[in-house]
A = this chain, B = another copy of it.
Amino acid sequence: MGNRTTLSDEVYEAVKALIMDHAIAPGARVTIDAVSRQLDVSPTPVREALARLESDGLVVKRPMAGYTTTPLLTPGEFEQLFEVRLLLECAAAARAATQETSGVDFPRLPRPVADRGYAGHAAFTAADAAFHDAVAVAGGNPLLRDAITRLHAHLHVHRISFPGAGTTEAEHAAIVAAIRSGDPSGADSAMRAHLEAARDRHRLRT
């Protein structure tokens, strides 16, 4: 079949989802055989997927002793993550305001209706990640976007604290408005305000 996706890629996504869903506890061992049995594939693609996840910083390898998931972000690392996000994402938003973005679609968030359980939270996280990625792309600097992507900010934040809806959508709208009106410093400020508010929202729960 003209399947354009390889088994290694599917395993990669599956294991990433397992980590995100807390199906694998933070700091727990990830045995290759266990994953291969659970997903009913051979160890080879699992090994390949774990190698990539290690580069992503989601698991760590100890030679001859297997992989373990990275522990949750400490409060200090949480602050460090947002410090880097402020650096990169504010710059991307400011750049986006100088670009032609009339045809760009900035995804909206799902309505923060009453708790839909885990699935709802996961969908919210995914939509928020999509919005931030859209801003990064609109910045027009692919290397900057890659640097933002490799932070895996949403994944790490999701692991420690399921996002609260709050006023996120309004903050997003303010960012989009500043970008579309061609106001770089306004976009920078709006993104900064949004990230600092999000940081405070999540910080409350730790």
Contacts and interface: CB of A to CB of B under 8 A. Distances in A.
Contacts of A9: 63
Contacts of A150: 147, 150
A27 interface: no
Contacts of A147: 84, 88, 147, 150-151
A54 interface: yes
Interface residues of A, number: 33
A6 B67 CA distance: 13
A31 interface: no
Nearest to A81: B143
Nearest to A146: B57
Q: Is the interface of A mostly helix, strand, loop or mixed?
A: helix
A51 interface: yes
Interface of A: 4-6, 8-9, 44, 47-49, 51-52, 54-57, 63-64, 77, 80-81, 83-84, 87-88, 91, 141-144, 146-147, 150-151
Given A9-B63, A77-B142, 17 more contacts: A5-B63, A8-B51, A49-B51, A51-B51, A51-B52, A52-B54, A57-B146, A77-B143, A80-B143, A80-B144, A83-B144, A84-B143, A84-B144, A84-B147, A87-B87, A88-B88, A143-B151
